[in-house]
């Protein structure tokens, strides 16, 4: 993956708008600002007076619509869009969303951010009763359940179906006359509603997309909510009232864009507090503080301020790195990695560097970055990680589903330190992370309000299809 | 131009290597790390045992060589490459360098960073004697002079020709048996030499390109030098000894990549010192310090440290902005600008923001950024510019050649402040800039060693073809 | 549609191979030679030891696989492929075949040439029982029926499903261990089996694709046959024995490539005989005989030989016409049509031209061609059509489903003659066509063995979902 | 080269228009219809009130302008355009024409069809006096000579320069106020002038391009003429009066489009007469006559009519063959050739085939085609070539410049027959060719009026730089 040096991918971003001119272009802008949530593919479905039409393809938003005709052919005043994460080797356009379903006498489109934990079981059951799936993703299960439901109206069908699926989901559904929004009962994934100047509603995975279309923030979607937006306005309903907030902590640590507010909390500020707390928990003597660009820069500046050391640009990222970049032959491999990220010799030479990274997942780039700093003349490299040890896989929307891929799950801190050749290595405590985010404080919650299972293995819900896997993998 | 919000473009970057396997790929890597110096076009000429071959096209390095065959077809152990700046509307491949000249019984290639001040006169004279130019750039004049020279050997022809041209130039010339390097007598443009592990020499506009190919820094090319690299090694000669260092100060302020060292001075560190000096000269009461990404981040962090205020990410740049991005219709224009740069509401809301920018050129984006911050809730916006007022055009390699384009040349500070709707506006003093860069100190020079004409109109050399223009334009 | 001046489109071409190295490239070659049967999209599914993988996209075969990686990534020794016809405005990749179905524990791919006449009814029924379709084409119905069948083994499920669908179909099904071939009970569409040198079986819509991969013709697939090819060889079975040959006469008249043999009869030769019969039925005084390129050239040369007049190239087709061709503004429209087809002034000037066309569908280009010939100086233009009047739509695999689109269904011959401004206009008789094709003679059939409903409205089978439409449209 | 199976390439086609709206699109249409004369690259220069602007690139006309913006950016009412032939491996955009020369105070563009025989000498001389060439083609020499001329006005400079160059040339020159046309003193290359409805003049390599823009044919450009078209109309002048018509016979045999008239003679008709004469000279017993598509179809039909045998489509060309076609690995090579051209089994099986080809150049495909016909079941294959033996290279505009490449120059007819495995092989006589073209008859010339040097080695002019080569090569 070329965008970040870390192989940790969000599954998706979603955007929707109802009743606004240029719905196609607004959705394009919205998706563009959510591009960090997925670079594999993108698509838009618009609704032109009850007729749904779609365009989607593999690539970045700007590449998918590099021929403008494909965007402007999507007429109508309402739309939903989706960006999908990037994996190597998979170029299946079938999985690019939104999925548009053409029934003989109806149309229905769906965009999903998250991951269902009982999709495998449900899919198998549905197939046994004759259902055929068009994509290999789990997102389509909901549509089949709705189609199969015996309830008399669509909202009841949807409610029944949502009560059947398990896991993390932020769903946007476009019908001929409404935009329907649903969030899982734990609110794992972010989803916010805004309003354009003319009063039209927009919905997006992150508030940065509301800003991108100049929409005013209205409210976050809450766990268990089922919201219908149509020409009569917005109606907030619930598909379940058994809810318990367990918002994905990694959205704060790594995924979300720094300018987004998640549940009212600014991401950059939270990250900066993670850096501050980390400095208080694990101070160290050094000359300069350096962050791994781009995701760790906020935490690094927080660390630097707290410990009163200069915050320096000791690593620099090439902003022109793209998919077309020619990968070198094996012998030239090392030179290529240097193209994404470079150590700034003039800054780190002869310095004791405190290197702040937001998290360690596979650990493959950590060793490389430390070496790069040492080659550039750093006298010492102290690694400080602005989140706890990432030991447990995620089943609610991030593509890490194996413990074996997580270095912290099978190495001690000291083993990792040696592997990375760092002079010291420390991780932010769970308490430090919870405090930095400040959700429980902010909302006066009985607990953290966060899904911290990455760090402690305590999953907020039963894992269904993945329950055995977690056991086995341990 | 999509890469930075400021319309200030470097003319070029150059890279060369002699006697190394994979010369094509090394040059590709080198140019890739110099991409910030020019995004309009790129090209490579390789030398395979005396046979020169070329590929060049419009676009980014990775786009020009998106079909790898075009790169790998350039065989040989030596190469020069070039990246060229981006201008709107001009898509003339003729001007993309290196220029390869196929004579009936010889070949010669040339890559140029800079601008000649007597090229118009020379070109006219040459045309009158029958010469025909293949490009509309001034870079080609040197080749015509060499061709026309009556001296008996190539080096003497080159020396004679270099003594005829005036202005700023860093030239790489590839002949069938040598890589020849020349720098103007003021050393306006940066040019550094490094060595690969196997001893092969490389040369590049900035040291970040030496790092990119894992080359060790050897020395900077000095004003007036004429260096020949061939199979027998490197030979340092001079085409003139009447030299006076006047290095482009804007390379430190804006152009160069933060990890490069210019004349031994790290760019990020110099920028940070500009920020510090600015804080000392013009402190102001505020809550947070914010830099305009990406070029002003170093200066902003320096300001923040000096004034002991938090350095915050109050503006964020979308890293997925590319040429394919669909420009909106007029009515949606404002939304589009927001795509490149966004204010971070959660950070700036209710805050007194000290906004640090590296320089003000046309001033068009300044007003927009202040408005964006105010819309995002900033209570006050104090603008601090980490360089003096940019009042005079450049004729040595940057595409600003008209005073009328420079807002500071016809507006007072107070007029600009009002225009930008800033609560205050201050510029770093010339002394502050000179001190921050530290070149005279470092080298014990009689004066600054810098070209500061942007700020004070004192051009280090006579302007020839442009002399009248500066007068007239005033 | 740019390939022919006539808007008459075949729905598809199919190709399959079992047990041969380079199955991907063989299928690519096969599809390439079937390109005339469909230019909208193309796809290939290969089978690598039981794992099915797919690539498909919009465009010509060579465009779909312009990035060779996409072809070579399809590993395995067996494959099926599909080319799909071109319609304006529709760029739905969902409809490009082969359709690959990923079940939780099985895979299945399907390629279809033809049109089902009860698909609408079946689809509606299936949807009511909860099925969801991935494409808007009718091709997918078969898969749903197979999935739903209660029979105990796959072959029985397929037989039951084939007995449920109605209409014209040539189906290739790829399972994990077999390539299964089915033809409808009337044998509307051509389908032939060949063998590579190593004994591997291939199957293709036309024999030109067998030639393209150097395969020996083995046999045509017969109406009602269900053929299984796997590692044990070829097994010929029947899904029904109630069959009656009614081969599409328009395949002979227009669709098939001249070098293909349909049911053992060479297409070029049949067309030439159509021309001869036409000359015998409707001779006329003239100077030269001219055919409309490319499909009418055989008939024109037959006409010329029979009437003993020179066969001349009075019209010429630009072979470089492609999709990228820039359509002119309205005022320049006429000049553009001239780009596809041009009259040869030097040939037709002052001549009495006998213009032979294979058929008249909408009639839009006829008037234009006659005008072009007159503008080029033709003294007389006698139009001779090498097939009967095309009055009735097709429901078995060609995209003309409305009588109103067919000029002969609502205009008399004299009205058409006037419209086209021809000096005379005559059509080959039905008997002349049947005799020219010679199928009944060749096979000693009780009737023509052809579907002649285009001309006489006598559909070989009940039309199901379209029965009313034909009535209503009349 | 994918367009024809024969590797014989025309060097170029040119088109020009003065004073017409949509000059850009008209030139696009004109070039499109001249595409057969060159597929390597294309370009257009327009003149908008004295400002010349250019776009050119590698590829077909429709590919070069696949982004319409590039065409519509070329504003103005006058234009010249050029298509260039295709060679393998060379992708030098520098050589794509028209060449646009930007002088400090003037602009000048040039498009050239032909080849200069003293360009090497002239180029060397010019280089010695300091001139630098931008392209490796010979077309640029004229511009340098004009630039160097001491004459007082442009027309005199051009006349002087034209009198300095030797060889074959059809030149279009665009100045700020005129379109200037020049043809060499032998008139080797075709060049015709037409008039649009509004009276604007157009000029093109072939009349098919006049037809393409709906222009009326006015006159052919004659040897030695220098024509100026500007706002005052057309002025016909001469740069020399020592002229002798020696029109390229291969234009009639192979290059020109069948619908073009060359010197008033229709190409298709001439080819047909070649076929007739060939039949009279070399009749043979056979069952059918088959032509090699597309260039030999006219000759084949002429042969068939003369010998009273059926003219059949025994070979078919795939019209979808394009540059993107994936070339197979060595082992699959044979299958690929079959993709361009296929034998029609149903036609040739058990037949004695008389195969008519327009010419034999390298002979490589001949053997292949005979084998293909035999594999398809042909009982006998009699090869008849509708032109004399091609024994001598061309130096006036076709890319065959070595005798060693021409099989007829070093093999006897019997040797060739054996090599091709043909049952018999005969070539049209020189007299037969001259008679078929009919130029001398038509114009009452003292000799043929044709350049027949391909066949008899008698070059109409001294060969200058190539004189030795022809000797040496013999």
Structure tokens at D16: 């020009």
Helix (H), strand (E) counts: chain A:
18, 24
Chains C and B, touching by 3 or more CB pairs within 8 angstroms? no
| pLDDT, position B91 | 57
Q: Decide if C325 and D62 are in contact by the 8 Å CB cutoff.
A: yes
Chains B and D, touching by 3 or more CB pairs within 8 angstroms? yes
Q: Decide if A342 and B211 are in contact by the 8 Å CB cutoff.
A: yes
Structure tokens at D175: 């100045």
Which chain A residue has its CA at the smallest distance from B72's CA?
A: A326
Core vs surface per residue D293-330: b (16+ CB within 10 A) or e: bbbbbbbbbbbbbbbebbbbbbbbbbbbbbebbbebee
Beta-strand pair C424-427/C380-385 = parallel
Kindly tell me the burial class for residue C352, based on how many C-beta atoms sit within 10 Å of its own C-beta (0-12, 13-18, 19 or more): middle
Complete DSSP assignment for C50-72: TEEEEEEEES-HHHHTSSHHHHH
Q: Decide if C301 and D316 are in contact by the 8 Å CB cutoff.
A: no
pLDDT tens digits for chain D (474 residues)? 233 345 555 579 999 999 999 999 999 999 999 999 998 899 999 999 999 999 998 889 998 998 888 999 999 999 999 999 854 435 577 788 999 998 888 999 999 998 899 998 999 999 988 899 887 778 889 999 999 999 999 999 999 999 999 999 999 999 999 999 999 999 999 999 999 999 999 999 999 999 999 999 999 999 999 999 999 999 999 999 999 999 999 999 999 999 999 999 999 999 999 999 999 999 999 999 999 998 899 999 999 999 999 999 999 988 887 767 777 666 666 655 667 889 999 999 999 999 999 999 988 889 889 999 999 999 999 999 999 999 999 888 777 768 888 999 999 999 999 999 999 999 999 999 999 999 998 888 989 999 999 999 999 998 888 887 776 655
Question: Considering only CA atoms, which of C170, C104, B268 is closest in space to residue A343?
Answer: B268
**Range list of H helices, A5-105:** 23-33, 61-64, 68-72
Interfacial residues of A (vs C; Cβ cutoff 8 Å) = 55, 57, 70, 91, 93-94, 101-105, 120, 123-124, 127, 129-134, 136, 140, 143-144, 147-148
Q: CA-to-CA distance for D313 and C272, rounded, in angstroms?
A: 10
Whether residue D178 contacts residue D108, with contact meaning beta carbons closer than 8 Å, is answered with: no
Q: Decide if D131 and B130 are in contact by the 8 Å CB cutoff.
A: yes
3-state DSSP call for residue D70?
Answer: helix
Residue D170 gets which letter from DSSP? E
In DSSP terms, which residues pair with B45 in a beta bridge? B54, B80
Q: Would you name the residues of C annotated as active-site residues? A: 12
Q: How far is A124 from chain C (nearest CA, A)?
A: 6
Q: CA-to-CA distance for A210 and A192, rounded, in angstroms?
A: 8
Compute how many other C-beta atoms are within 10 angstroms of the C-beta atom of residue D244. Answer: 15
Q: Which residues of C touch D344 (CB under 8 A)?
A: 258-259, 266, 268
Whether residue C252 contacts residue C188, with contact meaning beta carbons closer than 8 Å, is answered with: no
Structure tokens at D342: 């296929």
Q: Decide if A132 and C132 are in contact by the 8 Å CB cutoff.
A: yes
Q: Which residues of A touch C45 (CB under 8 A)?
A: none
The predicted complex's ipTM stands at 0.88
In DSSP terms, which residues pair with B381 in a beta bridge? B353
Whether residue A301 contacts residue B39, with contact meaning beta carbons closer than 8 Å, is answered with: no
Whether residue B440 contacts residue B448, with contact meaning beta carbons closer than 8 Å, is answered with: yes
| pLDDT, position D10 | 56
Angstrom CA distances, C262 to A264, C204, C218, C275, C302, stand at: 71, 11, 13, 18, 19
What pLDDT digit, counting tens, does each position of C410-430 carry?
999 999 999 999 999 999 999
Q: Which residues of C touch D60 (CB under 8 A)?
A: 320, 322
> Which of the four CATH numbers 3.40.50.2020, 3.30.70.870, 3.60.20.10, 3.50.50.60 does domain A266-443 have?
3.40.50.2020
Q: Where in chain B is the domain with CATH 3.60.20.10?
A: 3-243
Question: Model-level pTM?
Answer: 0.85
Angstrom CA distances, C410 to A44, B332, C7, C471, stand at: 43, 50, 18, 14
| pLDDT, position A87 | 46
- What average pLDDT does the segment B39-58 reach? 94
Residue A3 gets which letter from DSSP? S
* φ, ψ dihedrals at A385, nearest 5°: -105, 125
- Does C474 score more than 70 pLDDT? no
- What average pLDDT does the segment B406-418 reach? 96
Q: How far is B235 from chain A (nearest CA, A)?
A: 27
Beta-strand pair A179-183/A225-230 = antiparallel
- The angle subtended at Cα D259 by Cα D258 and Cα D265, nearest 5°, is 85
Say which of D12, D208, D248, D366 is annotated catalytic.
D12
Q: Decide if C102 and A132 are in contact by the 8 Å CB cutoff.
A: no
Residue A326 gets which letter from DSSP? P
Whether residue C428 contacts residue C470, with contact meaning beta carbons closer than 8 Å, is answered with: no
Q: Which residues contact B35 (CB under 8 A, 6 or more apart)?
A: A318, A320, B13, B60, B61, B83
Q: Which residues contact C67 (CB under 8 A, 6 or more apart)?
A: none
Q: Decide if B147 and D132 are in contact by the 8 Å CB cutoff.
A: yes
Q: Which CATH architecture has domain B3-243?
A: 4-Layer Sandwich (3.60)
Q: CA-to-CA distance for A284 and C220, rounded, in angstroms?
A: 81
Structure tokens at A302: 């927080």
Which chain C residue has its CA at the smallest distance from A148's CA?
A: C130
Subunits next to D (3 or more Cβ pairs <8 Å) are B, C
Q: Which residues of D touch B103 (CB under 8 A)?
A: 127, 132-133
Q: CA-to-CA distance for B261 and A314, rounded, in angstroms?
A: 13
Q: Which residues of C touch D336 (CB under 8 A)?
A: 29
Q: CA-to-CA distance for B36 and B84, rounded, in angstroms?
A: 10
Structure tokens at C465: 């979902």
Complete DSSP assignment for A250-306: HIIIIIS-TT-EETTEEHHHHHHHHHHHHHHHS----SEEEE-TTTTHHHHHHHHHH
Compute how many other C-beta atoms are within 10 angstroms of the C-beta atom of residue D49. Answer: 10
Percent over 90 (pLDDT), chain C: 74
Q: CA-to-CA distance for C402 and C8, rounded, in angstroms?
A: 12
Q: CA-to-CA distance for B452 and B245, rounded, in angstroms?
A: 12
Beta-strand pair B341-343/B315-317 = antiparallel
Q: Which residues of D touch C25 (CB under 8 A)?
A: 326, 328-329, 332
Q: Where in chain C is the domain with CATH 3.40.50.2020?
A: 266-443
Q: Which residues of B touch A267 (CB under 8 A)?
A: 346
Q: CA-to-CA distance for D194 and A118, rounded, in angstroms?
A: 75
**Range list of H helices, A113-231:** 119-128, 141-148, 154-162, 207-212
pLDDT tens digits for chain A (474 residues)? 233 345 455 579 999 999 999 999 999 999 999 999 998 899 999 999 999 999 998 889 998 998 888 999 999 999 999 999 854 335 577 788 999 998 888 999 999 998 899 998 999 999 988 899 887 778 889 999 999 999 999 999 999 999 999 999 999 999 999 999 999 999 999 999 999 999 999 999 999 999 999 999 999 999 999 999 999 999 999 999 999 999 999 999 999 999 999 999 999 999 999 999 999 999 999 999 999 998 899 999 999 999 999 999 999 988 887 767 777 666 666 655 667 889 999 999 999 999 999 999 988 889 889 999 999 999 999 999 999 999 999 888 777 768 888 999 999 999 999 999 999 999 999 999 999 999 998 888 989 999 999 999 999 998 888 887 776 655
Most A CBs within 10 A among C58, C101, C104, C139, hence the mutation to make, goes to: C104
**Range list of H helices, C168-245:** 207-212
- CA A382 to chain centroid, in Å, comes to 28
Which chain C residue has its CA at the smallest distance from D339's CA?
A: C212
Q: CA-to-CA distance for B239 and B156, rounded, in angstroms?
A: 9
Compute how many other C-beta atoms are within 10 angstroms of the C-beta atom of residue B150. Answer: 8
- Does C273 score more than 60 pLDDT? yes
Q: Decide if D305 and C310 are in contact by the 8 Å CB cutoff.
A: yes
- In the numeric block, the tokens 């007389």 are attached to C380
The pLDDT confidence band at residue B9, using thresholds 50, 70 and 90, is low
Q: How many CA atoms lie within 13 A of B94 on its CB side?
A: 24
Which chain C residue has its CA at the smallest distance from A73's CA?
A: C89
> Binding site, residues of C?
295, 357-358
Question: Considering only CA atoms, which of C131, D37, A235 is closest in space to residue C145?
Answer: C131
Question: Considering only CA atoms, which of A337, A386, A387 is closest in space to residue A364?
Answer: A337
Q: Which residues contact D164 (CB under 8 A, 6 or more apart)?
A: D122, D145
Q: Would you name the residues of B annotated as active-site residues? A: 12
Does the CA dihedral C410-C412-C415-C419 come out positive or negative? positive
**Range list of H helices, C193-265:** 207-212, 249-250
- Does C5 score more than 50 pLDDT? no
| pLDDT, position D228 | 98
Most C CBs within 10 A among A67, A90, A132, hence the mutation to make, goes to: A132
In DSSP terms, which residues pair with A14 in a beta bridge? A82
């Amino acid at each position: 993956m070329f965008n970040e040096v870390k192989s940790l991918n969000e599954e998706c971003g979603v955007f929707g708008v109802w009743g606004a001119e240029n719905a196609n272009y607004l959705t394009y802008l919205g998706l563009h600002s959510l591009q960090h949530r997925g670079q594999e593919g993108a698509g838009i479905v618009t609704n032109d007076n009850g007729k749904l039409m779609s365009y989607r393809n593999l690539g970045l938003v700007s590449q998918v619509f590099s021929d403008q005709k494909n965007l402007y052919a999507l007429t109508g005043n309402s739309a939903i869009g989706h960006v999908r994460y990037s994996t190597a080797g998979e170029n299946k356009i079938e999985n690019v969303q939104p999925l548009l379903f053409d029934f003989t006498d109806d149309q229905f489109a769906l965009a999903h951010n998250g991951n269902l934990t009982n999709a495998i079981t449900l899919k198998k059951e549905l197939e046994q009763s004759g259902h055929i799936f068009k994509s290999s993703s789990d997102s389509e299960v909901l549509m089949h359940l709705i189609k199969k439901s015996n309830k008399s109206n669509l909202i009841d069908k949807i409610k029944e179906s949502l009560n059947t699926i398990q896991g993390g989901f932020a769903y946007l559904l476009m019908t001929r006359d409404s935009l329907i929004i649903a969030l899982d009962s734990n609110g794992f994934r972010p989803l916010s509603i805004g309003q354009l100047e003319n009063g039209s509603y927009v919905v997006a995975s992150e508030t940065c997309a509301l800003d991108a279309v100049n929409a005013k923030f209205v409210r976050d979607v809450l766990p268990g909510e089922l919201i219908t937006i149509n020409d009569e306005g917005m109606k907030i309903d619930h598909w379940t009232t058994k809810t318990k907030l367990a918002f994905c902590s990694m959205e704060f640590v790594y995924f979300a864009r720094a300018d987004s507010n998640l549940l009212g909390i600014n991401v950059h500020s939270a990250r900066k507090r993670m850096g501050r707390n980390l400095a208080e928990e694990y101070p160290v003597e050094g000359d300069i503080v350096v962050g791994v660009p781009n995701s760790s820069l906020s935490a690094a500046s927080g660390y630097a301020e707290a410990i009163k050391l200069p915050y320096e640009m000791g690593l620099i990222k090439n902003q022109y790195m793209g998919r077309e970049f020619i990968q070198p032959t094996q012998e030239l491999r090392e030179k290529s990695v240097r193209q994404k990220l470079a150590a700034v010799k003039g800054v780190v030479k002869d310095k004791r560097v405190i290197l702040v990274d937001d998290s360690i997942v596979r650990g493959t780039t950590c060793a490389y970055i430390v070496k790069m700093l040492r080659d550039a003349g750093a006298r010492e490299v102290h690694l400080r990680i602005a989140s706890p040890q990432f030991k447990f896989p995620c089943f609610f929307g991030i593509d890490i589903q194996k413990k074996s891929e997580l270095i912290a799950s099978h190495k001690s801190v000291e083993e990792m330190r040696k592997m990375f050749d760092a002079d010291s290595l420390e991780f932010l405590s769970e308490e430090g992370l919870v405090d930095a985010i400040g959700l429980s404080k902010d909302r006066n919650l009985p607990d953290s309000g966060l899904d911290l299972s990455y760090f402690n293995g305590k999953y907020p819900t039963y894992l269904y299809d993945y329950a055995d896997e977690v056991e086995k993998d341990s």
